[in-house]
Structure 1
C-alpha cells in the first residue's frame, strides 16, 4: 500500500463511519469495529440487550455500501434450508431449480442466533468460512462483500443453545453496542423511528472489495507478528484458561490490525493497533477454567492482565 492509497483508504473509511453513524448515534467505536470486520472479510458477533440498534447497524452498513440486507430471526424450529435455500423440482421445465435462502446478501443479520438448534447454527459454518453454500452437491457462491452480523441476548438464556467454541472462533470480532448517551438518546427520541431509511450509499460493493484487497497489502513488521504470537501463546498458557486463542485467532488479529492501520492513514501496523483490537478479537475465543469461572473472572480480565505483562517487541529501524 502506498501513502496515497492509505490516505484514500482512511478518508473513505471515515466517510463510511460517518454515514453509518447517522443511524447509530454516539457509537463510533462499535461502528469502526463492524466496518473493520467487513473490510477484513470476517463476521461480527454482537452480544447486547434488545433495542440497542443491532438491526439498524446491519441495515445501515448495507445501505452505506450499496449492498443487500437480509434479516433471519433464529428460532428453535428454524431449519438449515430456511437459511441456505432449497432445491425444488419445476414441473414445467422438468429441472431442479435452486431457490436461494436469505443468506445470499451483502449483510446478513442472524438475530438471536443462539435460539436456533445446533444443526441450523452449523448451516452457517460453511458460508461464513468459505463464502459459499452447498445444496444437493451443488456449490453456490454468496458474492462479495459478505458479512454475517449475529446477535445474542445476554440476559434471556431460557430456550437457547450456547454457541460451540468452533463457531465462536469463526467470528472475527465480538463487541456490543450498549445504550447511547443522554444527548444521543434525546436526538433519537426526537427523530424518525428508522434512521436508516434516509442513508445514501457512499461507495459500491466493488469498492468494498478494492478496500479489502488494499488492506491485505498493509505492511506488518516481524516484531509485531512476534508480539501477536506471544499474546496468543500467553492466553493458552495462562493458569485461568482452559482453552486459549488458536492460530486462527492470531491470524484474525493480524487481519484486523491491517485494516485498523489503514483506517488511520498508515501503510504499516503498530503494536498499538494490536492492543486496541486484542479484546474484541480474542476475548470470545478464550474458555476459562472452572475455578476462574466460579470466581467471577472474565475473559476480558485475563486479556487485560496479559496485555499488561506482555511488552511489545522492539520494531526494527527502517
Structure 2
C-alpha cells in the first residue's frame, strides 16, 4: 500500500510537470577501459537502444555527461552528430567539477555544436544539465566516501548564470537548464539556491548503494520512491527527471543489497516499468562504461552484443 501511494503521488506529479516523458540511457565519453568513444560507437549504441528486444523502441533518448569529444580540448562530442543521424533526443551534460577554465571549454563546445549543426541538433535537446553529482562530491558525505572533486552550490549557481548569458541570442536560448544530483545533496540548505535557479532537477537514485539503512531488493522500490520524494520536496513544482537508476547484475554485496541478474530484472520490472512513459528517465545503463566501477555491472547488454541479459518486456 505504501509503495502504491508513493507511486500514485509521484506519477501524478510527473504528469503535470512535464508534457512529454522521454526514455533513454546514460552515455559516457569513454569506454570502461578508458578508451575514447567516437561517432561510430555512439551511433551503434543509440541504434542498439532503439532496437532492444522487448522494449517496443521506447529508448529514444540519450543523456551525456560532457559536451567535449574525448581526446580534444573543446571539440563538440561526436554523440551530437550521432543523435541527429539516429533521431535521438539528448539531455546535454556539461562537466562542472574541474574548475572555471574546464567549464568554459564545455560551454564553447556546446555553443560550437549549435552553430555547426543548427536546429537539427538543438531541436533534439530535452534540456542542458550543468554538472552531475558535483554537490554530492563536495558534500561531507561525498568527501568521506572519497567521491572525487566536486563543486559547491555557489559555483553551480554561477555556472548556470554564465550559461544563460552565453545562450542569449543563440539557438540554445530558452532550452531548459538544470542540474543532476543525489537527493542527499538536493536537500542540503546550502544547495537551495541551485534548486531555485534551475528549470528542472535531475535525480540520481540507487537503492543498491544506500547501505546505511535496510536496502534489500525487497525494499528497493519503496526506497527509490522515498528518495524521489525527497528531491521533489525541494523542487517547488519543477520537473524532476530520473537521470540515473538501476540495479547491478554483478558486483559485491552492498549492505543487504545483492547484485544478480535476477535482482536487476526485478528492479527493472518494479521501478523501471513504473517510470517508462510516465516520467523522463535515463536508465543506468545500456553498456558498462564507468572506469571506477569495473567490479560492478549495471548494463542491460554486454559491450559486444545487443542481446539483453534478461527480458525487458514491461
TM-score by length of 1: 0.29
Greater relative contact order: 1 or 2 (C-alpha under 8 angstroms, separation 6 or more)? Answer: 1
Between Structure 1 and Structure 2, whose CA radius of gyration is higher? Answer: 1
- Structure with the higher fraction of residues in helix conformation: 1
TM-score by length of 2: 0.29
